[in-house]
Amino acid sequence: MFKIFSFLLLMYSTLNASDCTSQQSVNLLFFGAFFMIIIYNAMYLFFLKSATYASYLMFHITLFVIMLFTTQTLQNSWFDLNWHHVPVGIFFLSVAMFLAFSRDYFNLQQNHSKVAFYINVVITLDLGIIIFLSIIPINTLLEILFITLVILEVVALLSLTLYLGFYLKESNAFFYLASFAPLFLVVILLSLDYFSILQLGDTLSYLLKSAILIEASGLSFALSHQQKEREIKAKQDEVLLQELSHRVQNNLQQIISILTLQMGDTDDVQVKQYLENTINRITSIALIHKTLQHSSDAQKNNIHSYLENLFQAYRVINPNVSFLFECDKRLYFSVAKLTPLALIINELITNSLKHAFSEQTNPQICLKLTQGAEINFTYQDNGTGFSPSSVKFSTGTKLIKLLATSQLRGIISQEYTNGYTFFLRFPK
């Protein structure tokens, strides 16, 4: 609504320009409205922290500077080459920001990476030309070349928008096209006027002001629509993730129930042990999915909360063992890191419960997880300890090594006296 008000204000001032006491009044109305639009975009950028709004804001700031030169409010020949009283270097800066905004608006980095690469090359070229124009004398040939280059970049961007809209059916392209169409047209008219093909005089100034405010009003709706679509998609993804995690957790619980029934159907101690180990491993994974259900971001799972739930489950089953852990409450892991670490913890606890406490009256398991330049994980029990050479390493031990080195890309070290201590260091 704010931008619409600014647009209507400009339309009124334009239609009644002949009734104004001076052209300065019209300029004052335009710059006041346009400045409010820039502030409006700046506030959106502040709250959303969006790259799209950042490039959009920079594009409007360069447009604002262009209009200061066009109305001759600023009169400073920063570069030798000027186009309608505007240093061409400013045009190139504006086009560079326009390209950056278009790249971010269409999310080209993710959806069309090759196109984004070429746009980044053109942006770099434009910024290089700005430096070139500031230090190198310009002749007529270079003048025509640079102005033609600006026109070609705008035409190329218009062609890309038509392709995205009419061929790929991207709805954002239609908003974009409708908003920028008047500004594209004015750029063409400016070019025709510069090459003396068409003489429009002061009318161009009114057309340019109108086109800028039309673009600002239209793109505000486009960006708002895009932001709303992203929010809806994010909510849908969140619901989908929670539902998927819930279903997986239920399936895992069913598998645990089946394995538990099978344990009751066999008298073979070794088979029972294998089934119990398998149940513990599946339980660790099920707990991860439970953690996911209470997490708003799959890439940010609170480790302190997970360990608290895990140790609480072990305390219920093993009331005679003290389970202690130390972990920063602000430490978060992605599922890709949490899953192997959870399985490692499960294997370590299982080994301690089975082998370490036969002669210990006050069994204790301690776990410490800290974050510095790397993640440091320490597991320790106060069991009897053992000699590595006298022990046949189990499947669980091999699994620990595989998970630690292959999935977490970590480095392991161990101590076997005065209990058992396991150290793991892996990158963030």
Let me know whether 53 and 183 are in one domain: yes
284 is a domain residue = no
**Are 214 and 318 found together in one domain?**
no
Residues 229 and 82 in one domain: yes
CATH of the domain at 404: 3.30.565.10
CATH number at residue 101: 1.20.1070
* Domain-terminating residue out of 208, 234, 260: 234
| Threshold 0.75, pTM exceeds | no
369 backbone dihedrals φ, ψ, rounded to 5°: -135, 115
Residue 312: strand, helix, or coil: helix
Residue with token string 């259900």: 293
If asked whether residues 230 and 309 sit together in one domain, one would say no
Q: What is the chain's length? A: 428
Tell whether 32 and 105 lie within a shared domain.
Answer: yes
Integer CA distances (angstroms), 160 to 155, 156, 166, 310, in order: 9, 6, 10, 53
In a domain, 417, yes or no: yes
Domain boundary among 189, 210, 234: 234
Residue 188 lies inside a defined structural domain of this protein: yes
Domain span at 405: 299-426
In a domain, 241, yes or no: no
Q: Quick one: 160 and 57 in the same domain?
A: yes
Any long-range contacts for 248-252 (C-beta under 8 Å, 24+ apart)? Answer: 248/289, 249/286, 249/289, 249/290, 249/293, 252/282, 252/285, 252/286, 252/289
Query: Looking at the structure, do residues 307 and 221 belong to the same domain, yes or no?
Result: no
Report the relative pairing of strands 301-302 and 322-327 from DSSP bridges: unpaired
Distance CA 135, CA 256 (A): 74
Burial of 17 (C-beta count, 10 Å sphere; 0-12/13-18/19+): middle
What is the model's pLDDT at position 368?
A: 92
Residue 71 phi, psi (nearest 5): -85, 0
Q: Are residues 228 and 142 in the same domain?
A: yes
> Does residue 355 share a domain with residue 223?
no
Q: Is residue 263 part of a domain?
A: no
Q: Which residues sit opposite 424 in a β-bridge?
A: 377, 412
Mean pLDDT per 10-residue section of the chain, whose length is 428 residues:
48 48 68 80 82 85 80 58 57 85 88 90 87 72 79 86 88 83 79 72 73 79 77 78 74 80 80 78 73 62 83 82 86 84 86 80 89 89 75 73 89 86 90
For residue 400, give every residue at least 6 positions away whose Cβ sits within 8 Å of its Cβ, in sequence order, or none: 344, 347, 348, 412, 422
3-class DSSP string for 366-387: EEEEEECCCEEEEEEECCCCCC
Q: What is the rounded CA–CA span in Å between residue 70 and residue 75?
A: 9
Asked whether residue 258 is domain-assigned, the answer is: no
- Clarify whether residues 75 and 218 are in a common domain: yes
Q: Are residues 46 and 123 in the same domain?
A: yes
Instruction: Please report whether residue 106 resides in a domain.
Output: yes
Q: Contacts by 396-401 with C-beta closer than 8 Å and gap 24+?
A: 396/277, 396/347, 396/350, 396/351, 397/347, 397/351, 399/343, 399/347, 400/344, 400/347, 400/348
Do 203 and 324 share a domain, yes or no? no
Counted domains in the chain: 2
Q: Give the amino acid at 297.
A: D
Last residue of a domain, one of 210, 234, 258: 234
Q: What is the pLDDT of residue 81?
A: 43
Q: Is residue 274 part of a domain?
A: no
